[in-house]
Amino acid sequence: MTEDAEKLEKGETEAAQTEGASKEEETGALAEPPRPSYREMLSSPLGYVFNVRMLRRVVQIVFFLGINAYVMVSLFGGQQFVAFWTEFSHILPSIPILAPLQGPAAILAGSFDTLQREFSSGLFPFFTIGAMMIILTVIGRTACAWACPIGTIQDFATLPKRNKIRPAPSTEEEMRRVKAYIFIIVMFLVVWVGISRWTGTSDMLTAALGPFAVAAFDPFNPAYILFVALPNIISQHLWPVSLDTLWYILQWGWFLGQFVFVIVVVMASVWFPRWFCRWLCPAGWIYGVFSKDALIGIGRNPAKCTPETCNVCEAACPMNIRIRRYPYQHMHSPDCIMCLECKSHCPNKAIVVRFS
Ligand code: SF4
Ligand code: SF4
């Protein structure tokens, strides 16, 4: 058995094996992935247009429009586009992304958004949980990378800036815990409201919880703010246009705060790729729990991977995963969203998609 094959067998990690890797772990500093030279681009121009990165961008845009496909009808009369997405939503009524179905143009729902509403209505979401678990245990968090509109917004915001800020692993670990705490609080509230419906005490509780009563994460959910709150504010003209309508300020002021939060999510993504997904999204946390041991995952070919001298995959990873810490065979990370950025950037073609 070769040395590389032994490594594969034992699933050794190698970040701790090299001094360079240790320094990176302390500081979080990673070199940005190299960009192709013009000579390389000209030698294979089609390869730079038709590749997995470009395919993902296209799929992201299609899902972004498809999730709120009724917008297409009002803007362009795209009935066929809507018909396609309506059929899709019949097959998969909710998928593991962030997308509330309450938007005026919405066709597709996120599993977490649906879970909250079902719990707070006093129902147990058997079907939503079952479908979510099946999807996540087979294809992992692929929908986060390819379909979630909030992931898409962050990815596109990240594109213009090359040098990203990446916290040291210990800080990153601390920050990742925040989304788990948010998940626990949200679930506590929606289950509490659901139980109160059974006991007939829901009126007082929902009045006390206000905007947190139906789906407790909605007030901070960028998808809800953009696709539900924003169209409502616009269609109902809920902004102060004169002194007489200044009393709208209460409603408007709350929305303004939410909108500023969305702007912060987008702007911060320029320097911190997918920071909302990594640290704040409670949906991403529960999706990660079920997708950790998904059938499809990322692995590395030990015969091609050179972890002592190369960190290109880690520098390219928008989820800031220390890929070289994981076994070669299969990287069981709850944070991997299968965006395949590591695979696209690896200069040695060492990253492989595993089915196991
Ligand atoms: S972590 Fe949340 S916001 Fe990010 S892509 Fe997944 S569901 Fe969407
Ligand atoms: S490990 Fe690779 S596939 Fe997974 S999130 Fe990072 S770059 Fe994407």
DSSP 48-103: HHSSHHHHHHHHHHHHHHHHTTHHHHHHH--HHHHHHHHHHHHH-SEESS---TTS
Which DSSP letter does residue 278 get?
I
Answer whether 15 contacts ligand 1 (Cβ < 6 A): no
Predicted pLDDT at 85: 85
Two structure tokens written together for 247 = 């009393």
**Pick from 65-74, 238-247, 294-303: least confident:** 238-247
The residues spanned by each domain of the chain are: 31-294
Predicted pLDDT at 121: 93
Average pLDDT over residues 245-265: 80
Two structure tokens written together for 67 = 């999730």
Average pLDDT over residues 318-322: 95
Sequence-separated (6 or more) residues with CB below 8 Å from residue 198: 122
Residue 151 has pLDDT above 50, yes or no: yes
Predicted TM-score of the model (pTM)? 0.85
245 pLDDT tier (thresholds 50, 70, 90): low
Alpha helices, H only, the chain:
3-10, 19-27, 38-43, 45-49, 52-67, 70-76, 79-91, 111-120, 126-139, 142-146, 149-158, 169-199, 202-209, 222-224, 230-235, 249-269, 275, 282-291, 312-316, 341-345
Residue 282 has pLDDT above 90, yes or no: yes
**d(Cα 109, Cα 223) in Å, to the nearest integer?**
11
**d(Cα 310, Cα 58) in Å, to the nearest integer?**
30
Query: Residue 315 burial (CB < 10 Å; 0-12/13-18/19+)?
Result: buried
Coil, helix or strand at residue 107 = coil
Residue 317 has pLDDT above 70, yes or no: yes
Most informative mutation of 56, 63, 98, 154 for ligand 1 (most atoms within 8 A of CB): 98
Answer whether 144 contacts ligand 1 (Cβ < 6 A): yes
Predicted pLDDT at 248: 64
Average pLDDT over residues 163-190: 94
Residue 242 has pLDDT above 80, yes or no: no
Average pLDDT over residues 181-186: 98
Predicted pLDDT at 33: 60
Residue 16 has pLDDT above 50, yes or no: no
Most informative mutation of 298, 324, 325, 349 for ligand 2 (most atoms within 8 A of CB): 298
Query: Residue 139 burial (CB < 10 Å; 0-12/13-18/19+)?
Result: middle
Answer whether 283 contacts ligand 1 (Cβ < 6 A): yes
Most informative mutation of 321, 322, 331, 332 for ligand 2 (most atoms within 8 A of CB): 321
Predicted pLDDT at 17: 40
Residue 228 has pLDDT above 70, yes or no: yes
Predicted pLDDT at 93: 84
The percent of residues above 70 in pLDDT, for the chain, comes to 81
| Maximum average pLDDT range among 60-69, 160-169, 177-186 | 177-186
Predicted pLDDT at 12: 43
Answer whether 282 contacts ligand 1 (Cβ < 6 A): no
Residue 40 has pLDDT above 70, yes or no: no
Predicted pLDDT at 120: 95
The percent of residues above 90 in pLDDT, for the chain, comes to 57
Predicted pLDDT at 148: 97
Residue nearest to atom 5 of ligand 2 (CA): 336
Higher pLDDT, 38 or 229: 229
